[in-house]
Amino acid sequence: MRRVREYGAEDISTLHWHGDLVETLMDIEKETRLLVVGCRGAGRDTAAHAMGSHLESVIRTIHKPILIVLAEFSPPNSFMIAFDGSPTAQKALAMVVGNPLLKGLPCHLVMCNGSDEQKAQLPAAFDELVSAGFDVIQKMLEGKVQAALDTYQKQNQIELMVMGAYGHSRVRQFLVGSNTTCLLCTSNIPLLLLR
C-alpha cells in the first residue's frame, strides 16, 4: 500500500478473501477497471511453470484489462502494440485509442508474420492511432513471434507491450502453441493484456 500511496492514490482499501483465486476475481470483476498481477519475483525462472499456476486461468476468465508486472515497475515512456488483426488485438487497439492512460507516449504498432489478410488490417490500425493523437511507428517483423517481438522491444527500448490475449481455444493452443504464454514466460517488460 505504501507504493500505491506514493503514486498518488488516496482512496485505498485492503480486502482479505479466502477461496479460489479465479472465483474471487470473478466476484469483483464488475467493479474492476484494471487488474494488476505480479508475475515473477527476483529469483524467477524462464521455464513455462514460472508463469504461475493460476495466471493463465485468470487471464482466460477475467474480461477486464490485466497488467502483468515484474518485480519492479515504473511508468513506461513508450509502448508497443503486438497487433495480429484478431478480435482480441482489435479490442486492445480500441482500448488504447479510447483511454487516456497511454496518451502522449510513443507507440510502436508491430505485426509479426502476418498473413495477407492480417497485413491488410495494419494501415487501418495505424490510421486509427494517428487520428487519436498518437505518434506511431509501424513495423512488420519476420521470424518466431516471441523472439522477434523481444528483439524489437530491446532495440527500441520499449517499456510496455499491449496485446490481445489467448485469441484461440485451448485445443488450438495445444496443437500450435500460444504466443501469449510464450510472452508471459519470457517478457522482461510489463504486459497489458486484453481479451
DSSP H helical ranges for the chain? 2-6, 21-28, 55-61, 87-98, 116-131, 145-155, 170-176, 179-186
CA 99 – CA 130 distance, rounded (Å): 14
CATH 3.40.50.12370 assigned to domain 2-194? The reply is yes
Total residue length of the chain: 195
CA 15 – CA 65 distance, rounded (Å): 20
CA 80 – CA 146 distance, rounded (Å): 14
- Which residue ranges of the chain lie beneath pLDDT 50? 42, 44, 46-51, 168-177
Tens digits of residue pLDDT in 4-25 = 788 788 888 787 778 888 888 8
